[in-house]
Amino acid sequence: MTTPEIEEFAKLLVEKVRDAAIQSNDRRLGANHAIAKRWKEAASGGSPEVFAKMLIPDIVDDTLFYLLHAIDDGLLKLSFIASNGKAVDLSTEGLSELAGWYIGSDGWRARYAKERFVEE
């Protein structure tokens, strides 16, 4: 049995991260969005594997974006303990910029990702 606090965390995580990422990707499909164009090209011209390989990193990146966005907005108040033992309050020390620092053109994804991504 979980506590009310864990349930509150679970509800926020599902609504503000998972559901937000699904809604975002659904909107992309309905719009004249560059990512939607890539997806449609991959779906029409390639195998299911090619299509899936196109979708996976985009959807993962969007989900991480919404996780960081929820932290930026103070909805998920999380701390990180660095390898040196220092605890960092992500909501405060992230300056409400974590999502931008992740997805930006010279952001964390570009600097640290070892797997594929497409920068729009």
Read off the pLDDT band of 46 (50, 70, 90).
confident
Read off the pLDDT band of 111 (50, 70, 90).
very high
What was the pLDDT predicted at 42?
87
Domain ranges of the chain: 4-112
What was the pLDDT predicted at 93?
95
Element (H, E) at 80: strand 79-81
90 and 78 Cβ atoms separated by less than 8 Å: yes
The string of pLDDT tens digits covering residues 58-99 is 999 999 999 999 999 999 999 999 999 999 999 999 999 999
What was the pLDDT predicted at 96?
95
The string of pLDDT tens digits covering residues 9-26 is 999 999 999 999 999 999
116 and 110 Cβ atoms separated by less than 8 Å: no
- 8-state DSSP, 81: E
